């Protein structure tokens, strides 16, 4: 195991290219996508070969999703929470300021797919000498088609196991990408960096001092909250939002690139997701309950219900509980634009899922109408909701699986499958799962106002207000 490197996982981003599965409240890096594992879980498993102690930088909104991913993979470390997203320069600076100055930091996006973990660790190892010599080391992917959706790195002269970076190239037009592919010497820019913490901070001080000043202030004001570090909000909100590419890389000369010649994907679109699965002889691929007839080069993602495609070609079909996407492969990059349009129309599916993840489990809004709402609530073993009350709604709970411990006013009692209880409006209450299996209840809410902000919390083990 390489012990001289600390992985830093950058967990920001909304992943709108994978809508409707990925949404702001539950972005693609946390979504179970490959073999019931999320891209973040796969990233953590990959970097475990380098170091089991990591730094993660994530949105405060996703802190419990992050903690759960670390628990599942047996990785530990420093979990830094951003009050708002301010792009990669600020996130990388926050990690570097929370690390020893002489530590080599491996910055990895949380949402890439790299199946060959051993090859990845070996390639990272090849960048150590250059990073210890004061270079920023980036990792370039050998192109396997002339892509127009990735930036490129032009390789320069040899530098030990690496090459100098001659220049960075923005996403090219098709004819330029074709020229790069045929000519060789150009790599896809993977956005993975290896650099000494002190080197990165020195370069930010030189090329983007305003960003570093803001982040230094936010780190000086950060507070520990359980296993999390919360950056100072006011200072971080005031930070300029800019990528590390524009803030530093385009202005700095001492940059090296190590070539990675194995499978890699940034999983940035549904066409990229489709490419991760083995197709049949006609190029079709099914995930879940899809059925295809008289079709070719068609991908169906249908985890919840049967989805049938007849006579389709070059089509991607993505089904979720509350939204369906049907798109030709060559239009997959336009999905982000549609999400913007949905947001402008205040369509909740643009950002929120019907099924909502909480630190204690999840709930699914099954049905809603005038003065009522029905939810299916799942609570993890040993977990509990906060002690709370509602000013505008009453609740009726029916246990359909497991055992529930209920607090209702001064009462405390247990109910099991096929039993129910009623929580009147304005009464303090709590729901707990004392068992070793998942607890599921059906909750029927009734009242004049049924939004989630009608919650007054008195005690919460997860530190929510």
Clarify whether residues 77 and 188 are in a common domain: yes
266 in any annotated domain? no
Give me the pLDDT at residue 2, please.
44
Between CA 257 and CA 36 the distance in angstroms is 33
455 in any annotated domain? yes
Q: Can you tell me which residue has the tokens 């709604």?
A: 393
The enclosing H or E element of 189 equals strand 186-196
Clarify whether residues 126 and 216 are in a common domain: yes
Last residue of a domain, one of 344, 368, 397: 344
Last residue of a domain, one of 260, 294, 309: 260
Clarify whether residues 211 and 251 are in a common domain: yes
For the chain, give the longest Cα–Cα distance. Answer: 76
pTM: 0.88
Structure tokens at 388: 């709370």
Contact (Cβ atoms closer than 8 angstroms) between residue 150 and residue 264: no
73 in any annotated domain? yes
Clarify whether residues 64 and 173 are in a common domain: yes
Clarify whether residues 401 and 283 are in a common domain: no
Clarify whether residues 217 and 308 are in a common domain: no
Q: Divide the 465 residues of the chain into consecutive groups of 10 and give the mean pLDDT of each group.
A: 79 89 92 89 94 94 90 90 95 97 96 94 94 95 91 92 92 90 92 96 96 97 91 96 93 93 92 92 95 96 95 96 95 94 93 88 92 96 95 96 96 96 96 96 95 90 77
Give me the pLDDT at residue 462, please.
83
Domain with residue 362: its CATH number is: 2.60.120.10
Structure tokens at 361: 């489990």
269 in any annotated domain? no
Query: Domain limits at 442?
Result: 355-459
Clarify whether residues 124 and 168 are in a common domain: yes
Q: Tell which residue, 86, 230, 256, has the closest CA to residue 162.
A: 256
271 in any annotated domain? no
Give me the pLDDT at residue 142, please.
94
45 in any annotated domain? yes
Q: Tell which residue, 147, 216, 152, has the closest CA to residue 178.
A: 147
Give me the pLDDT at residue 240, please.
95
Give me the pLDDT at residue 419, please.
97
Give me the pLDDT at residue 465, please.
67
Clarify whether residues 376 and 413 are in a common domain: yes
Question: Judging by beta carbons within 10 Å of its beta carbon (0-12, 13-18, 19+), is residue 43 exposed, middle or buried?
Answer: buried
Clarify whether residues 81 and 217 are in a common domain: yes
Last residue of a domain, one of 344, 364, 398: 344
Helices (H), 126-248: 128-132, 174-183, 197-207, 209-220, 233-237, 244-247
465 in any annotated domain? no
Clarify whether residues 168 and 52 are in a common domain: yes
Give me the pLDDT at residue 1, please.
42
Clarify whether residues 192 and 88 are in a common domain: yes
Clarify whether residues 179 and 219 are in a common domain: yes
Domain count, the chain: 3
201 in any annotated domain? yes
Domain with residue 33: its CATH number is: 3.90.550.10
């Amino acid at each position: 195991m390489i012990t001289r490197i600390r992985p830093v996982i950058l967990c920001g981003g909304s992943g709108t290219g994978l809508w409707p599965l990925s949404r702001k409240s539950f972005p693609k890096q946390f979504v179970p996508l490959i073999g019931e594992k999320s891209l973040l879980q796969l990233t953590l498993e990959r970097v475990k070969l380098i170091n089991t102690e990591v730094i993660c930088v994530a949105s405060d909104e996703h802190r419990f999703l992050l903690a759960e991913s670390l628990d599942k993979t047996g990785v530990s470390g420093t979990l830094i929470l951003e009050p708002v997203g301010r792009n990669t320069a600020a996130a990388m600076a926050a990690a570097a300021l929370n690390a020893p100055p002489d530590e080599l930091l491996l910055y990895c996006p949380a949402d890439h797919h790299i199946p060959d973990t051993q090859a990845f660790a070996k390639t990272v190892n090849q960048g150590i000498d250059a990073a210890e010599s004061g270079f920023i080391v980036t990792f370039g992917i050998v192109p396997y088609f002339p892509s127009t959706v990735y930036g490129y790195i032009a390789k320069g002269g040899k530098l030990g196991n690496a090459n100098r970076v001659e220049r960075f190239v923005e996403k090219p037009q098709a004819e330029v990408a074709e020229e790069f592919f045929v000519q060789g010497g150009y790599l896809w820019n993977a956005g993975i960096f290896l650099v000494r913490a002190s080197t990165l901070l020195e370069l930010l001080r030189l090329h983007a001092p305003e960003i570093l000043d803001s982040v230094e202030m936010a780190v000086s004001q950060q507070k520990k909250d359980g296993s999390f570090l919360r950056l100072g909000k006011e200072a971080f909100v005031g930070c300029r939002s800019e990528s590390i590419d524009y803030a530093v890389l385009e202005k700095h000369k001492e940059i090296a690139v190590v070539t990675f010649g194995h499978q890699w994907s940034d999983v940035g679109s549904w066409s990229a997701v489709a490419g991760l699965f083995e197709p049949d002889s006609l190029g079709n691929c099914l995930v879940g309950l899809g059925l295809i007839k008289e079709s070719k080069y068609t991908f169906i993602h249908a985890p919840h219900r049967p989805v049938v495609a007849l006579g389709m070609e070059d089509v991607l079909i993505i089904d979720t509980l509350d939204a369906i996407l049907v798109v030709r492969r060559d239009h997959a990059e336009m999905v982000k634009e549609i999400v913007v349009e949905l947001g402008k129309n205040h369509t909740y599916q643009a950002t929120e899922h019907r099924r909502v993840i909480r630190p204690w489990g999840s709930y699914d809004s099954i049905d809603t109408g005038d003065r009522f709402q029905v939810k299916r609530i799942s609570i993890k073993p040993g977990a509990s909701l906060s002690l709370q009350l509602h000013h505008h709604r009453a609740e009726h709970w029916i246990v359909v699986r497991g055992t529930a411990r209920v607090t209702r006013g001064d009462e405390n009692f247990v109910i099991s499958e096929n039993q129910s209880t009623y929580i009147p409006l304005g009464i303090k209450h709590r729901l707990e799962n004392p068992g070793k299996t998942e607890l599921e209840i059906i909750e029927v809410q009734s009242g004049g106002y049924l939004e989630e902000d009608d919650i007054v919390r008195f005690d919460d083990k997860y530190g929510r207000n």
